[in-house]
Amino acid sequence: MGNYLNPGNSGFAAIRNSIYVDKSGMIDLINRTIDTAEKLTCVSRPRRFGKSFAAKMLCAYYDRSCDSAALFEDLEIATERRYAESYRRHLNRYDVIYLDMTAVIGETSYDDIVPYIKRNIIHELKENYPEVKTAEGFVPTLANTVQATGTKFIMIIDEWDAPVREGRDNPEIGRVYLEFLRALFKNSGATDKIFAAVYITGILPVKKDGSQSAISDFREFTIVNPREFAEYAGFTEGEVSELCRERDCDFSMMKQWYDGYTLNGISVYNPNAVMEALRSCEFASYWTETSASKSLMEYISLDFDGMSKTIAELLGGVEVPVDTNGFANDLVTFRDRDDVLTLLIHLGYLAYEKETKTVRIPNEEIRLEFAKTVRRVKRDETIRRVRESDQLIADTIQENAEAVAAQIEKIHAEETAPLFYNHEQALRSVIKLAYFSYKDYYLKFEELPSGDGYADIVYLPKKLSPVPALVIELKWNRSAEGAIAQIKDRRYPAALEGYGGDILLVGIAYDKEERGAKRKHTCVIERV
C-alpha cells in the first residue's frame, strides 16, 4: 500500500469506527460509469459536507491491494439485491490513484505541485510494478502500466480545486494544474485506455477557462444541481432523526441549527455539524474559518450595488433572487452581486432553491456566522442598516411607538416597489428587513400556528435574553389599534404558551391610499 497508489482501506475503517451514516449507495452511481463515456465524475459541495469521507470510501472499495469486504458487508451496497452483481464485480479489483490535494499542497511548494504528483506516483508504480517501462511522459507511463498489468486505474482526487483556491493570487499555479488535468482527462486516445473511472470532488465546480471548461468532459454534480447525488450531499432528515433517536438528542434543535439545504426536494443537513453536536451534546456553530476560502466578511463587503440590502434581507429571513449562470467557478472573478451569492452557495453559506431560483440563510448556525460577520463589515451602508435595525429593536422594547412607526415607514418606502406596496408577502418582508439584526436577542418564527390563525412573525427571546417576546402585525387600511385587535381576536399570543416572560403586541398600520407624498404609518404597542 502506498500514499498515492493503492492507499488501502484504513481511512474508511477509521470512519466506520466513529459515528457513521451509510452512504455506500453512492458506490453504485460510480460503478455504473465504469468503462463508459460517462466515466469522469465531478461532485462539488461545501466544506464539512463529507467530501473526504466519500473519497476514502471509494478508495477502500476499489483498491485491489486490500480486502474490504468486512467493511461493507453490513452496508446498503452489499445488502441490497439491486446492487449485488455490480458490488461483487468491482470490489477491490482496481489500481487506485488517490490524491488529497490539500495534503499535496502541504508537502510541497505551489510551483512544484504537478512535478511532485508525477514524481511520487511514478516512484510508487516502480516499487509495485518494476517490470513497467517508464516512458518520457507521465501519461505514457500510466498507459504502460495498464498494458503490463491488464488493469485500468480508478483515479480519485479529493479537494481537486485546492490549487485553484489556494493559489488564487498566482493564476499561473492554477493554469499549470489545469493543464495537468487536461492532459489526463481530455486526452481522447489515452484517457479511455488508462482509466476505468475518475471521481473528483471539491468545493468549486470545474473551473471555466474563458468560455469553455478546462476539463469539460466531466459530468458535474454541484450543490446548485446535484441530480442523483442529492441524497449523498449531506445527511437526510430521516438519517438525522434516527441518529437523534439513538443518542437521545433533541431532533427539533438539530433541525433548527443544521438543516436548511434542500436538494431535489430532499432536506439536507450539514454532516460535520450534526456529528459535532452529537458528540458534545451542545448546539452551537461549528463553522470555522480555514484556508479553503476567504472569510465571509471579504465577500459580503464587495462593492456591488444592492449588496448591503441583500445581506440585510438574508439576515431578516427574506429569500433573495439569484442568477447562478455565468459564475466563473473561482474565488476572484466577480462581475456582480449574483456571482458573490453563487459563490456563497458553493461555500455552504447560503441555501439555493432550484424551483424559485432564490437563496436564503439555511439555519441557525450560518445565521450566527452572518450576524457576527456583518458587524465587522466596513461599508457605510451596511453600518447604517445595522444601527437602524438595532435602534428599531431598542425602540420596540422601550415601547416607543412613534419611532417604530417612523422607521417601518422609512423601510417600507425605500425597499418596496410601488406595485407591491400593499402585497401581503411584501409587508412581511418589510418587517423582516427592518428587524434583521434580531439575531443577537431573538429566534424568529414565521406563520406560527396560534389560537385561531397564524401569527405572521414572532420574535421569541433566546434563553437568558432580558427582552420581551414580540408579536408583530403590519396592516393597511386599518388603524394600529385594529392590528392589535386582530392579534388579540385571533389569539396569536397563544403560540407562546409555556413562555413565561412579557409579550409585546406590536400593531403597525397605514392607509392604502396615498396622502400627499407618502403613506403615513402609525403604531401601537401593548405589553401583556
The residue count of the chain comes to: 528
The reply to whether 340 falls in a domain is: yes
pLDDT at 291: 44
Are residues 274 and 417 both part of a single domain?
no
For residues 37-50, give the mean pLDDT. 93
Q: Does the pLDDT at position 68 exceed 60? A: yes
56 pLDDT tier (thresholds 50, 70, 90): very high
C-alpha pair distances (Å), 231 with each of 49, 174, 261, 359, 479: 12, 31, 11, 20, 49
**Torsion angles phi and psi, residue 29, rounded to 5:** -60, -40
- The reply to whether 91 and 216 lie within a common domain is yes
End-of-domain residue from the set 199, 221, 243:
221
Q: Cβ-count burial of 318 within 10 angstroms (0-12 exposed, 13-18 middle, 19+ buried)?
A: buried
In tens, the pLDDT along 74-90 reads 999 999 999 999 999 99
Q: Which three cell numbers stand for residue 393?
A: 429593536
Same domain, 435 and 354: no
Of 322, 341, 374, the residue at which a domain comes to its end is 374
- Is a pLDDT exceeding 90 seen at residue 99? yes
- 511: its cell numbers: 392607509
Please report how many Cα atoms fall inside a 13 Å half-sphere around the Cα of residue 483, on the Cβ side.
Answer: 26
Structural domain count, the chain: 3
pLDDT > 60? residue 295 = yes
| Residue 178 shares a structural domain with residue 148 | yes
What pLDDT shows up at residue 373?
A: 86
Q: How far apart are CA 386 and CA 417, in angstroms?
A: 22
| 217 inside domain | yes
Domain shared by 358 and 257, yes or no: yes
213 and 306 together in one domain: no
Sheet holding 469-476, edge to edge: 442-450, 453-461, 469-476, 503-510, 521-527
Is the same domain home to 321 and 431?
no
Neighbours of 370 (CB within 10 A): 20
In-domain check, residue 304: yes
Give the model confidence (pLDDT) of 221-269 as tens digits.
999 999 999 999 999 999 999 999 999 999 999 999 999 999 999 999 9
Phi-psi region of 109 (alpha: psi -120 to 50; beta: other; left: phi over 0): beta
Q: Are residues 111 and 204 in the same domain?
A: yes
Q: What is the DSSP string of 432-495?
A: HHHTGGGGGTEEEEEEEEETTEEEEEEEEEPTT--S-EEEEEEEESS-HHHHHHHHHHTTGGGG
Helix (H) or strand (E) holding 270: none
Condensed to tens digits (0 to 9), the pLDDT of residues 461-520 reads 988 788 999 999 888 888 889 888 888 888 877 777 778 889 999 999 888 765 544 678
249 and 173 within one domain: no
Q: What is the CATH number of the domain that holds 182?
A: 3.40.50
Residue whose C-alpha is closest to residue 329's, from 42, 33, 38: 42
Please, what is the average pLDDT of the chain?
88
Per-residue confidence at 213, pLDDT binned at 50, 70, 90?
low
Q: How far is CA 222 from CA 46, 110, 227, in A?
A: 9, 26, 8
Better-predicted residue by pLDDT, 316 or 79: 79
| Domain annotation covers residue 16 | yes
Residue 227 belongs to a domain = no
Cα 385 to chain centroid distance, Å, stands at: 26
Same domain, 408 and 520: yes
Give how far the C-alpha of residue 20 lies from the chain's centroid of Cα atoms, to the nearest Å.
Answer: 20
- Asked if the structure places residue 19 within a domain, the reply is yes
pLDDT above 70: residue 21: yes
What is the span of the domain harbouring residue 24?
10-221
| 37 shares its domain with 186 | yes
In the numeric block, which cell numbers belong to residue 289? 474559518
Cα(466)–Cα(293) distance, integer angstroms: 37
228 assigned to some structural domain: no
Which pairs count as long-range contacts for 393-396, CB under 8 Å and 24+ apart, including other chains? Answer: 393/435, 393/437, 393/438, 393/441, 396/435, 396/470, 396/504, 396/506, 396/525
Residue 346 domain flag: yes
Percent of the chain residues past pLDDT 90, beyond the cut: 58
CB atoms closer than 10 angstroms to residue 304: 15
What totals of helices (H) and strands (E) does the chain contain, helices first?
Answer: 23, 18
Classify 342 as helix, strand or coil.
helix
Q: Tell me the one-letter amino acid at 229.
A: F
Do 272 and 163 sit in the same domain of this protein? no
- pLDDT tens track for 267-282: 999 999 999 999 988 8
DSSP string, 175-220: HHHHHHHHHHHS-TTHHHHHEEEEEEEESS-PPEETTEETTTTSEE
**Which pLDDT value is given to residue 211?**
43
Q: Is the pLDDT of residue 293 over 50?
A: no
Residue after which a domain boundary falls, among 314, 346, 374: 374
Of the two residues 117 and 137, the one the predictor is more confident about is 117
